[in-house]
Amino acid sequence: MCGIAGIIGPNAHQPILLNMLAVQKHRGPDFTGNWLIENQVAFGHNRLSIIDLSDAGNQPFLSDCGNYVLIFNGEIYNYLELRKTLQSKYIFKTQSDTEVLLNAYREWGEKCLDQCNGMFSFAIWNIKEQTLFAARDRFGVKPFYYYFDQNNFYFASEINTLFAADVAKIPNDKVWLNFFSEGSYGLPNETFWTNIHQLEAGHFLTLKNNHLQIKKWYHFEERIVQLQNQFAQNEEEYITSLLLKAINLRFRADVPIGFNLSGGLDSSTLLALIDQQNIDKSTIEAFTFVTNDERYDELPWVKAMLEKRQYPLNICTLSANEIPDLALKMAQHQAEPYGGIPTIAYSKIFKTASEKGVKVLLDGQGSDEAWAGYDYYVSNSDSVVQGVTKSPFRIGVLDNDFAKDYSKTNYPKPFDDHLLNLQYRDLFYTKIPRALRFNDRVSMLYGTELREPFLDYELVEYVFSRPTNFKIKDGAQKWMLRKIAEKFLQKDLVLAPKRPLQTPQREWLSEDLKAWVTAEVEQLEKNNWFDKKQLQSELKNFFQGDNQSSFHIWQWINAAQLLKS
């Protein structure tokens, strides 16, 4: 996993490109490369070496025909199979998935995307045709941001990289307003900054003669309709095989691998399926975070799960007094609002892994969305926040002139089934997009790569397409996943109680960090988006016990830290 950056247009100059690459060097500390034709195209790459650690895998990567230049962030998990298909027509000089991807594009053009099982964002420059082709993976695991002023097209793996190219940092009022009003983080093509866009998951773009065209290549909805009438003869066995394959593919690496562990079903299943892999397990390590608060920590369950297993456990501790410094660092790094103290706690895992030389980590992200694990899937709620009985938003603190432009976000409902539409929303518009963004930044901040087997597209498609009673049965959510987990874990299946909160965020913000919270929120009083009196009133209510949810407090802290810089 790496960082990519580029400029198409008259501003394609090496000094600008080098500034961009310097800002995202953490994404690829192993090598920084660039290729350019002055005033026309500039490609840059920060490399984190995972597959083929030799210099031959460095980027920008030029095709042997001399016409194509590739910069690529991510992994093509099935690169060995693709290489075997292509090797009769192309000469391979490396063992990298980078070369496989470039030759796949040469062979199939945009259709190469359908052949790739992986997480990726990449850009290819066709020298003869002077055309840019760029694409993003099915679920948007890897980021792609861009700015286009009709003369110059800038793109990068992180928003801060675009700011380094002197792209203006102007708040996108519409996205911020919806964030405060309904907790949304923007549509899949939006960011919190005006004129800085995302290439949507499952889309590609072409740019030629200043004409930008964006097309959808991954038609998830059509795949689901096709699969709804297809049933494996033994579904439990078939899905188990998909899970085992997804994990096996994600163990392809030439560097040490570990995994993130909590006490829940997803982690238990991941652990059980790692046990089944025919790989060298002697170097694999487990990681978990704690806050030393027994109401939230899942350490007893994690230790019980590992009791009879050989994997060393790294316990990564977060304390309240670290939050002020880490919160600011994370805000500046994310460049957009992020998921609160749990995200900061999660970052501790990647920091520890990096210090130990573990470059790749697996986790259970994506299971709840495909297998219907959230509580509101059974409560007929349209909520996007778990574990609350009243609204987590405080729209009364917003200035009337700012708030009057609010328009509720309406998400597509491509299916006839209410549950499928909620899952679809979470997979492509709410839960997964924001979690992937948070996780990409916290992992790459420490030069580590995160892989998510539960987001393997073949697995997601099949599980998503199954009837409701496959996912929710006899009051149990993620029913089939539980059956599979029990088969492997048998009597030693140990699960922490399902709970929406992972850290004592509300307690820390209302007690331990009260002075810091007050000072941060006071910064917003200078902003014309807020009603000063209402802001202070709601903050007082929070400190006095109205703290079932601390989401609104974290929203304000994020805003204060992002808008003042």
Is 211 in the same domain as 238? no
Is 320 in the same domain as 276? yes
Confidence class of residue 529 from pLDDT cuts 50, 70 and 90? very high
pLDDT of 206 > 80? The answer is yes
- C-alpha to C-alpha distance for 147 and 534, rounded to whole angstroms: 36
Q: How far is CA 346 from CA 160, 262, 377, 394, in A?
A: 21, 11, 26, 27
Is 487 in the same domain as 559? no
What is the CATH number for 456?
Answer: 3.40.50.620
Q: Which of 192, 218, 244 is the last residue of a domain?
A: 218
pLDDT, mean of residues 217-230? 95
Phi, psi of 474 (to 5 degrees): 55, 40
What is the CATH number for 97?
Answer: 3.60.20.10
Is 191 in the same domain as 266? no
Is 238 in the same domain as 95? no
Would you state the pLDDT for residue 534? 95
Would you state the pLDDT for residue 100? 98
pLDDT in tens, 386-427: 555 678 899 999 999 999 999 999 999 999 999 999 999 999
Is 480 in the same domain as 518? no
pLDDT of 434 > 90? The answer is yes
Q: Which of 492, 524, 548 is the last residue of a domain?
A: 492
Q: Would residue 499 count as lying in a domain?
A: no
Confidence class of residue 486 from pLDDT cuts 50, 70 and 90? confident
Q: Would residue 500 count as lying in a domain?
A: no
Q: Which of 447, 469, 492 is the last residue of a domain?
A: 492
How does DSSP assign 50-110, residue by residue?
-SS-SGGG-SSEE-TTSSEEEEEEEEETTHHHHHHHHTTTS---SS-HHHHHHHHHHHHGG
Which range of residues forms the domain containing residue 309?
226-492
pLDDT, mean of residues 43-52? 90
Q: Which amino acid is at 250?
A: R
Q: Would residue 353 count as lying in a domain?
A: yes
Q: Would residue 324 count as lying in a domain?
A: yes
Domain count, the chain: 3
The 3-state DSSP class for residue 104 equals: helix
Contact 520, 509 (CB under 8 A): no
pLDDT, mean of residues 476-503? 75
Q: Which amino acid is at 118?
A: G
Give the percent of the chain with pLDDT over 90.
81
Would you state the pLDDT for residue 394? 92
**Is pLDDT larger for residue 219 or for residue 305?**
219
Q: How far is CA 398 from CA 201, 331, 403, in A?
A: 32, 22, 6
Q: Which has the minimum average pLDDT: 230-234, 351-355, 475-479, 487-491?
A: 487-491
Is 214 in the same domain as 230? no
With b for 16 or more beta-carbon neighbours within 10 A and e for fewer, the 256-292 pattern comes to ebbbbbbbbbbbbbbbbbbeeeeeeeeebbbbbbbbe
Is 182 in the same domain as 309? no
pLDDT of 477 > 80? The answer is yes
Beta strands (DSSP E) in 381-441 are none
Q: What is the DSSP letter of 150?
A: S
Is 62 in the same domain as 209? yes
Q: Would residue 498 count as lying in a domain?
A: no
Is 200 in the same domain as 246? no
Q: Would residue 67 count as lying in a domain?
A: yes
Q: Would residue 497 count as lying in a domain?
A: no
Dig out the tokens for 193 from the structure.
């900054």
Is 168 in the same domain as 235? no
Is 36 in the same domain as 141? yes
pLDDT in tens, 157-193: 999 999 999 999 999 999 999 999 999 999 999 999 9
